[in-house]
Chains A and B, each alone.
Chain A
Amino acid sequence: MNITVNGDSIEVPAGHTLANLVMDLAVGDQRIAIEVNEQIVPRSTYEAYNLKPGDHVEVVTAIGGG
């Protein structure tokens, strides 16, 4: 199925969870936060969160800024 991650359209297997996606993204041990369709998804629920076709996922982290 097709989902959008940080503006890029990507293919993931049906039944992919948010935890699976985080593994795919190779963000390493960075602290991240994730929003799906403009709703924050708490880290503790990534395992149980099933992605759906067309989901818009935003993955953010802290970077330098003033």
Chain B
Amino acid sequence: MSKLQPIAESIDDALTIAGVEYSSRLLIGTGKYKDLEETRQAVEASGAQIVTVAIRRTNVGQNRDEPNLLDVIPPDQYTILPNTAGCYTAKDAVRTCQMARELLDGHALVKLEVLGDEKTLFPDVAATLVAAEKLIKDGFEVMVYTNDDPIIAKELAEMGCVAVMPLAAPIGSGLGIRNPYNIRFILEDAIVPILVDAGVGTASDAAIAMELGCDGVLMNTAIAAAQNPVRMAIAMRKAIEAGREAFLAGRMPRKRYASASSPDKDW
């Protein structure tokens, strides 16, 4: 009797961003958690290796003894991805990245987002292009948040962004993948990793993004605003893995009529 051979897990299916290999394709944000302990637990449960943070003014003199975020997400264990959330101009976004680089001792990987409007948090694409170009010239490795426009996505990749991250739906909306056809267009022409950033609401949304062929998903609110964030972090880890495996496996063709799974009855 032959022993069951376990199928090789896709251990060599790494996500490579700016020359660094990651085994996890789930990237998570650290906003909106109840406290730092919940943040720590959710990050750990998610298995994420790349974790986004925001850059803000310190509360001068008020929090000397409070733990801070980088104590619970140590930069020697995680790839910290500073973002430019809250920036509405290219200049502001570039400044924020420069501050982040100083803060993180020369760290070049950043998540660029230049927002256009508070209501939708849609990107200001024209300003995003300007900021991306400046940052790339200045030596940054830019992962860029953009809308699901294939033309712009291509331009950002050709410009030298290390990853292009189209939104699935507005930031924090949890509406899921609103335009899978556009995401697919973006994937067809991809020359850098494409990650869905923003809009995922629950595990099936993450799985759909991965089944479409996305290289990864970046999310925050879907985990942080779940009733049980740590449990949702686990769900998201599994969904990302399942979706990736399904994509690599190749789904069966859709058919209009039934097709029996058992052979015809012959007795």
Contact = CB atoms under 8 A, between A and B. Distances in A.
A66 B102 contact: no
B260 to A, nearest CB: 47
Contacts of B32: 64, 66
B52 interface: yes
Nearest to A8: B60
B85 interface: yes
Contacts of B265: none
B65 interface: yes
Given A64-B31, A65-B83, A66-B29, A42 B58 contact: no
Interface string A9-50: 000000000000000111110111111001010110000000
B58 A25 contact: yes
A27 B58 contact: yes
Given A26-B60, A31-B103, A66-B224, 8 more contacts: A25-B60, A27-B58, A27-B60, A58-B99, A63-B55, A65-B85, A66-B52, A66-B219
A63 B69 contact: yes
B82 A62 contact: yes
List of 5 A-B pairs having minimum Cβ-Cβ separation, nearest first: A66-B29, A65-B54, A66-B220, A33-B103, A33-B102
B68 A61 contact: yes
Contacts of A61: 55-58, 68, 103
Main secondary structure of the interface of B (DSSP, over half): mixed
Contact of A60 (B57, B70, B80): B57
Nearest to B29: A66
Contacts of A24: 61
A24 to B, nearest CB: 8
B32 to A, nearest CB: 7
B113 to A, nearest CB: 10
A8 B60 CA distance: 10
Contacts of A34: 102
A33 to B, nearest CB: 4
Given A5-B60, A60-B58, A66 B99 contact: no
A62 B61 contact: no
B123 to A, nearest CB: 14
